[in-house]
A and B are shown apart, each in its own frame.
Chain A
Amino acid sequence: MKQKKRNEKGLAVAARRSRLVSELRSGIGGLGFWVNRLPVCGDFSLILICTGAGCRMVGYTDLPTKGGFDFGLCRRNQSLVEKGGLKIPGFLKTGTTIVGLVFKDGVVLGADTRATEGPIVADKNCEKIHFMAPNIYCCGAGTAADTEAVTDMVSSQLQLHRYATGRESRVVTALTLLKSHLFKYQGHVSAALVLGGVDCTGPHLHTVYPHGSTDTLPFATMGSGSLAAMSVFESKYKEGLTREEGIKLVAEAISGGIFNDLGSGSNVDVCVITKGKTEYLRNYLLPNPRTYVSSKGYSFTKGQTEILSTKITQLKPKVEVAEGGDAIAMEE
């Protein structure tokens, strides 16, 4: 019995150790460190890292936890930037105005449609209001990839939860899933969200910040245009707005962001959620048509782009066309 127990424990330790070693190796960026590990006692391993310059003890470590980012490659990236002249690709941020407000029968969410890459507009008409559940939608500001990924992930989790429970999803469920994910990543997932929906407990509106904190509010704005939009809300919001008043106020707030914030622009998207019904009004307002189109038009005729030199290489003389009979002969 004792023998069997020891073997099982030994196997478990070996498996965990090898995972630790592979993680360490990949973390150091495959630069050829040789890791010696010696069992000391119980579940701990003493890690010895040997390089050409000699051996260095890293210390006692328990196995690294699952989840969260592995920052092992950061030092390598930094040295590549400093010495190797590497240019890290930029992130596509949405530089946004997103808003939400609670009205008499539910919530109204609004967003602009401009996605920027630094000073350039990358997408003139992107969608920033993401689907979470049939009765819950989420606007996202910050890094576009992060908002997409995190809302898609929580949306899938909510659907699985709906299948398991047989009930309509609640907004606080989405909220808890989002905030615990963002907190786990300590702000490195740069997603600032306005989450709104109507469930069996009533209408709810929340903001979620990249580090994982949340607020529950009657009206909220996020993104680079949040100050412009909030000034509209603070002037004109009152409790118990009707549906028309709510949509009009949201459109005004987003327009404030579009015209006064350079990171926001193009069109207004609105989403109205009430008990049992959701309306996604894509491009509710289009206040920015192109101002001038040349009537002359452009033609790109042959010869407009200068041809500096021409070289034609005949391929036929380079290829030997073998007849069928010869091919069979070659195979033998």
Chain B
Amino acid sequence: MSRRGDWVYENNGGTCVAIAGADYCVIAADTRLSVGYSILTRDHSKICELADKCVLASSGFQGDIKALHKNLAARELLYQHQHNKRMSCPAMAQLLSNTLYYKRFFPYYAFNVLGGLDSEGKGCVFTYDAVGSYERTGYSAQGTGSTLIMPVLDNQLKSPSPLLLPARDAVTPLSESEAVDLVKDVFASATERDIYTGDKLEIVVINKAGTKREYIDLRKD
């Protein structure tokens, strides 16, 4: 059905992953930007730091993602001016959901993963679909490599069902370095089999000490 000339979106590829720990959060995304079978750039960040304890990683159509990040950053600044404090991660999660649903009938082609620390200092990860449905989870993967990565995370991090009573912690008991190691390995594996994932991996780790960034090389083919 490619007769219609009104398809305004494009998928620029890429994969985003986030894992929540007891007192840290790891957010990672590859840095490849592609269109069709070509690479536009090997060095494009999909991660946006919205607040000191809140980081958003998005994959999909970069035009919409740039606009979405800009929109959220502006709203966060307004909040700072009005409330004299930075937005917390759960508050930003709700704001993102509302922003996405606002454009329910002309959506942002963005697949988001929001990660950070909640008000108690525990790691939190929120995962979204394109129109704003969201859920707080212990870990998530979005983007072209998500179907390759999610089953491995399910096996290694096994989040207990949110329906269980008494309510069990969704965050993983793994240490920070173990979680980062898992993220690196999982991305290396996804790069082997997904043509849209590769080049470089950007890893952001948030804990009570602050924010740390790390880059590792991935396959460039």
- A: residues with CB less than 8 A from B are 95, 114, 116, 119-121, 124, 224, 258-266, 287-288, 290-296, 298, 300, 304-306
8 closest cross-chain pairs (CB), A and B: A265-B221, A294-B185, A292-B188, A262-B195, A262-B37, A258-B221, A121-B193, A292-B184
Supplied contacts A119-B196, A259-B220, 11 more A-B pairs, CB within 8 Å: A95-B37, A116-B195, A258-B221, A262-B195, A264-B221, A265-B221, A266-B221, A287-B221, A292-B187, A293-B185, A296-B178
Number of interface residues, chain B, beta carbon within 8 A: 27
Q: With A288-B219, A288-B220, A304-B155 in contact, do A265 and B185 touch (Cβ < 8 Å)?
A: no
Which B-chain residue is minimally distant from A266 (CB atoms)?
A: B221
Please name 29 pairs of A and B residues whose Cβ atoms are closer than 8 Å in the assembled complex, sorted by A.
A114-B221, A116-B195, A119-B194, A120-B194, A258-B221, A259-B220, A260-B38, A261-B37, A261-B38, A262-B34, A262-B38, A262-B195, A288-B219, A288-B220, A288-B221, A290-B188, A291-B188, A291-B217, A291-B218, A291-B219, A292-B184, A292-B188, A292-B216, A293-B188, A296-B181, A298-B156, A304-B155, A305-B155, A306-B158
Residue in contact with A294 in the complex, picked from B34, B181, B192, CB distance below 8 Å: B181
Q: How far is the CB of A304 from the nearest CB of chain B, in Å? A: 7
Q: Which of B34, B218, B221 has the most CB of A within 10 A?
A: B221
Q: How far is the CB of B9 from the nearest CB of chain A, in Å? A: 16
- A119 to B156 Cα, complex, angstroms: 25
Q: Which residues from B are CB-within-8-Å of A296?
A: 178, 181
Interface of A, secondary structure class, is: loop
- A261 to B187 Cα, complex, angstroms: 20
Q: How far is the CB of B117 from the nearest CB of chain A, in Å? A: 25
- A287 to B216 Cα, complex, angstroms: 17
Query: Would you call B221 and A259 a contact (CB within 8 A)?
Result: yes
B191 CB-CB contact with A under 8 Å: yes
Query: Would you call B39 and A260 a contact (CB within 8 A)?
Result: yes
B182 CB-CB contact with A under 8 Å: yes
- A296 to B185 Cα, complex, angstroms: 10
Q: How far is the CB of B50 from the nearest CB of chain A, in Å? A: 28
Residue in contact with A121 in the complex, picked from B34, B178, B194, CB distance below 8 Å: B194
Query: Would you call B221 and A263 a contact (CB within 8 A)?
Result: no
Q: Which of B191, B195, B219 has the most CB of A within 10 A?
A: B195
